[in-house]
Amino acid sequence: MFTKLDDYKNKYRNITFERRDGILLMTFTTDGGPLKWSAMPDGPQHEAGAAFFDVGHDPENKIVILTSGGDRWCTDYDLENYPDQEGVTPLWWDYLYRAERDLFTQLLDIPVPVIGIVNGPATYHAEIPLLSDVVLAADDAFFRDDSHIAVGVVAGDGIQVLWQMLVGINRARAMQYLHQSISVDDAVTQGFVAEKHPREKLLARAYEVAENLIKTCSPVTLRNTRLTMTQYIKTRLFNEHPGSYALEGLAQVMRPQLASAPDVEVWHSRHPNKGSINIGHD
């Protein structure tokens, strides 16, 4: 099955597309501005997998540049529309799991190189740009996980696997338990960000990298290198993701029996205007 840009360029609420000379720019955005993550059916969590499928099955895409709107990757989450605790059922969690699994599967199955741009702070779902083959980041970017232990949620949606691969097992654990941030300078030193640049120069640099790859390598070389360089990630992620996401979901659906647990109190202290216990926001 093949797709065409005309078929999907206006298909998604939270993702825009623009292509020139075989280079597809894919931008995650909310209402034209910075990305606000949402697990609802019309949110990016459920659109991403289908969008990555469309991108991966379009033979006109030679390189993909993945970015977000505004001055950050994502630092906000749509809590207002998330179901309250009674709505966080096993069926709802299965719904989330399938969307998350599809996101990872279709992103890693894109058959051409992906260049990720991190426009600034990334505290929700940083794994999406960080799964790119080349990651470029703004000079004020930093990385942190605001959606798990920090708000009383099990780290099991796949982010824990990626951080273990990127920074090592001990630092990945400390990031969760101590709610640590990683600066862009540290990210470059550790190697999971290739380069940092002023925000206004990131896109031009991404196009420069993409154009150079197209000039110097055949499409077959680029596609096959993409396969060889993502195989380990796929193996590790897809082996661990089902079980770890089930553990995260188990803790979430048990929450009515844990109404006085400390992590519930943490949730309310961080979100005083939210009456329901709805902290399962992956």
Please spell the DSSP secondary structure of 32-57, one letter per residue.
TBSEEE--STTSHHHHHHHHHHHHHT
> Which of 78-87, 122-131, 192-201, 249-258 has the weakest average pLDDT?
78-87
Q: How far apart are CA 232 and CA 240, in angstroms?
A: 12
Give the pLDDT band of residue 153 (cuts 50, 70, 90): confident
Give residue 70's identity as a one-letter amino acid code: G
For 63-79, what is each residue's pLDDT tens digit? 999 999 999 999 999 87
Q: What is the pLDDT of residue 192?
A: 98
Q: What is the pLDDT of residue 224?
A: 98
> Which of 106-110, 156-160, 262-266 has the weakest average pLDDT?
262-266
Q: How far apart are CA 205 and CA 200, in angstroms?
A: 10
Q: What is the pLDDT of residue 274?
A: 47
Give the pLDDT band of residue 87 (cuts 50, 70, 90): low
Q: What is the pLDDT of residue 119?
A: 97
Parallel, antiparallel, or unpaired: how do β-strands 182-183 and 35-37 relate? unpaired
Q: Is the pLDDT of residue 207 over 90?
A: yes
Please, what is the average pLDDT of the chain? 90
Q: Which domains does the chain have, with CATH numbers?
A: 5-202+209-270 (3.90.226.10)
Q: How far apart are CA 87 and CA 56, in angstroms?
A: 34
What are the structure tokens assigned to 58, written together? Answer: 């379009």
Q: Is the pTM of this model over 0.75?
A: yes
Give the pLDDT band of residue 281 (cuts 50, 70, 90): very low
Q: Is the pLDDT of residue 105 over 90?
A: yes
For 226-279, what is each residue's pLDDT tens digit? 999 999 999 999 999 999 988 998 888 887 666 555 655 555 565 554 443 333
Q: Is the pLDDT of residue 51 over 90?
A: yes
Catalytic residue numbers read 127
Q: What is the pLDDT of residue 193?
A: 99
Parallel, antiparallel, or unpaired: how do β-strands 63-68 and 114-118 relate? parallel
Q: Is the pLDDT of residue 187 over 50?
A: yes
DSSP code string of 85-127: GGG--HHHHHHHHHHHHHHHHHHHT-SS-EEEEE-S-B-S-TH
Q: What is the pLDDT of residue 282?
A: 40
Give the pLDDT band of residue 88 (cuts 50, 70, 90): confident
- DSSP-derived letter for residue 153 is -
